[in-house]
Amino acid sequence: MNSVQHDDIPIDSSIGYDQLRSLVAEACRPIGPYWPMKTFAYYNPIRDFEHLSFGEAVSKAQWLLGARGFLPLEEYRGFFHQGRISPAAVEEGLRRAGPSLPSDEHIQIGERSIHVREVWR
């Protein structure tokens, strides 16, 4: 393998021109239609991942683009304590993402009976 150094990044010079073009095209695929952006415009960075679930798309975009798709958990907790996220919104989120169990399902821990959705909170 022949290598050249550029900005401390080893570059493999043994790959062919067509293979290099293919690699560059694949690397640009998630953002290609929108760059270079000269002015502010709406852009959905996970547009090309619509075939994936939202969570998978965000995870792939994070890996490819180095961006965070969600705030850290501590920030969401802070918003909840500040009243910016309501208890009703938490309940709705749990209803959508949580276990689909009967509403009367409880877990017994010692003397205490805990509703399954409380565990998710």
Digit-coded pLDDT (tens) for 27-53: 766 665 666 655 555 667 778 888 998
Cα 15 from chain centroid? 32
Three-class SS string for 88-107? Answer: HHHHHHHHHHCCCCCCCCEE
pTM for the whole thing? Answer: 0.46
What element of type H or E holds 11?
Answer: strand 9-12
- Quick: pLDDT tens for 69-101: 888 999 999 999 999 999 999 888 877 876 665
**Is the preceding peptide bond at 36 cis, omega within 30 degrees of 0?**
yes
Q: What is the predicted pLDDT for the residue at 84?
A: 96
